[in-house]
Amino acid sequence: MHAFAEWLGSTPLSIAIQSRLWLTPLLQTIHITMIGIVFVSMLMVALRVLGQVRADQPLAEVWHRFSPWFWTALGVMLGTGLILTIGEPVRQASALSFWLKMSMILIGVTSALYFGRTVAAAAGAAASSVYSSRARVVAVATIVLWLVIIFLGRSIAYDVEIWESWHLA
Amino acid sequence: MDLTPLVEAAQNSALSEWMRTSLKAVAIINALHIMSIVTVFGTIFIVDLRLIGYPNVKRSFLNMHHELLRWTWGAFGVAAVTGVLMFMVNAVTYHRNTAFWLKMAAMVLAGLNMLVFELGTMKSAPSWDKNAIPPTSARLAGALSIVLWVAVIVFGRWIGFTKGYDFTIPEDVQFDFPVQ
């Protein structure tokens, strides 16, 4: 993986990204704005399950209000994240935070896909439905998961400080 | 007003010194700052969009305002505390950083925009609470809020590129100010 990252870092595409000094902060800014939309979209759905927002609105409707924003912003994040990674492949590959973040995103995306299907199947549920404690635990876990993803995203730049000897370089 | 003595005192404080020497403090504070600022932006963005009338005006604005802004304020509190801590770590250089001041200016403008809205425009909110297009002043407040909070994120990220966070100074780099 390290050899691949070094090769990727020497490709003309990577060098083109690295040599445009304004590109990295611009992409990171877009990336951060988008995680705000991704995280808060999920937060709204989770808070609905917890009964904190939109208690009068069926969960399926809340999901349909926010899921297009979630998926679109996630798509933009994937694009900006990919360009950023191509621009700094060695830093990314040697960061434990990067790999943990990718694993967490996989869990987050899989559970969002699963949730989207489940909620569509249960669309007839009463507007004021109150959710079981199990559903509430899942809602809280989802909020925590996306917060951890943001944390890990920021710690890629501080991988040695955060993980010390666990850093992969 | 010369802020230099205050800025120097912040940087020379024991707390600032502890954060600089601690391996993980800056990293964790920085991550908490991002977690909270994106929550501020995301929650206020929903309220702003509702003010503009997007995607629709079916839901009560006042209800949305009540339900969401407590999360915005909670997150803002965390962002403010972590932001002050980050400033203290390297106060003297941030104090001279243009992007830092642009970020502060965008925040002040966002605050003024909010004050004008909350103390003025919002008084008429019951008449356009739902199923009505909000007045131009309300839609303008929503649009301005989005622009200003995006500006806060833009300038915030720019600080990191115009003033490095990394305190390990390479041996071959010459500084024109004394390094402690």
**Which residue ranges make up each domain of chain B?**
4-162
Q: What ipTM is given for this predicted complex?
A: 0.94
Q: Residue B165: what pLDDT?
A: 45
Are A150 and B34 inside 8 Å of each other by CB?
yes
Q: Residue B179: what pLDDT?
A: 44
What's the whole-number mean pLDDT along residues B12-35? 95
Q: What is the pLDDT along chain A (169 residues), one digit of tens a residue?
A: 889 999 999 999 999 999 998 899 999 999 999 999 999 999 999 999 999 999 999 999 999 999 999 999 999 999 999 999 999 999 999 999 999 999 999 999 999 999 999 887 876 666 567 889 999 999 999 999 999 999 999 999 999 999 999 999 7
Neighbours of B58 (CB within 10 A): 9
Are A150 and B31 inside 8 Å of each other by CB?
yes
The Cα B90–Cα B88 span in angstroms is 5
pLDDT above 60: residue B176: no
44-103 of B, contacting A, C-beta below 8 A: 45-46, 55, 59, 67-68, 71
Name which of B45, B157, B158 to mutate to probe chain A: the one with the most chain A Cβ atoms within 10 A of its Cβ: B157
Which residue of chain B is at minimal alpha-carbon distance from A156? B27
Q: What is the mean pLDDT of chain B?
A: 91
Nearest to A81 by CA among A164, A153, A131, A7: A153
B157 and chain A in contact, CB less than 8 A: yes
Is residue A145 within 8 Å of A84, Cβ to Cβ? no
A110 and chain B in contact, CB less than 8 A: no
The Cα A66–Cα B114 span in angstroms is 25
Dump pLDDT digits (tens) for B108-138.
Answer: 999 999 999 999 999 999 999 999 999 999 9
Q: Residue B162: what pLDDT?
A: 83
Is residue B138 within 8 Å of B51, Cβ to Cβ? yes
Polymer length in residues for chain B: 180
Take residue A52 and report the two structure tokens written for it.
């904190």
What number of H helices and E strands is found in chain B?
8, 0
Q: Residue B3: what pLDDT?
A: 87
> Is the pTM above the cut of 0.80?
yes
**Which 3-state string (H, E, C) describes B31-46?**
HHHHHHHHHHHHHHHH
The Cα B114–Cα A45 span in angstroms is 26
Nearest to B31 by CA among A103, A37, A32, A67: A32
Q: Residue A128: what pLDDT?
A: 60
Residue B1 pLDDT grade (very low, low, confident, very high; cuts 50, 70, 90): confident
Comparing A152-166, B9-23, B100-114, B157-171, the range with the smallest average pLDDT is B157-171
How many domains is chain A partitioned into structurally? 1
Domain that holds residue A50: 2-166
User: How far does CA B142 lie from the centroid of its chain?
Assistant: 17
Nearest-CA distance A82 → chain B (Å): 19
DSSP 8-state secondary structure symbol assigned to residue A20: -
Residue B174 sits at φ, ψ, to 5 deg, of -100, 130
User: How far does CA A65 lie from the centroid of its chain?
Assistant: 19
The Cα B52–Cα B67 span in angstroms is 18
Tell me whether residue A69 is exposed, middle or buried, using C-beta atoms within 10 angstroms of its C-beta: 0 to 12, 13 to 18, 19 or more. buried
The Cα A138–Cα A107 span in angstroms is 13
User: How far does CA A52 lie from the centroid of its chain?
Assistant: 22
Q: Residue B166: what pLDDT?
A: 41
Are B161 and A150 inside 8 Å of each other by CB?
no
Dump pLDDT digits (tens) for B49-82.
Answer: 999 999 999 999 999 999 999 999 999 999 999 9
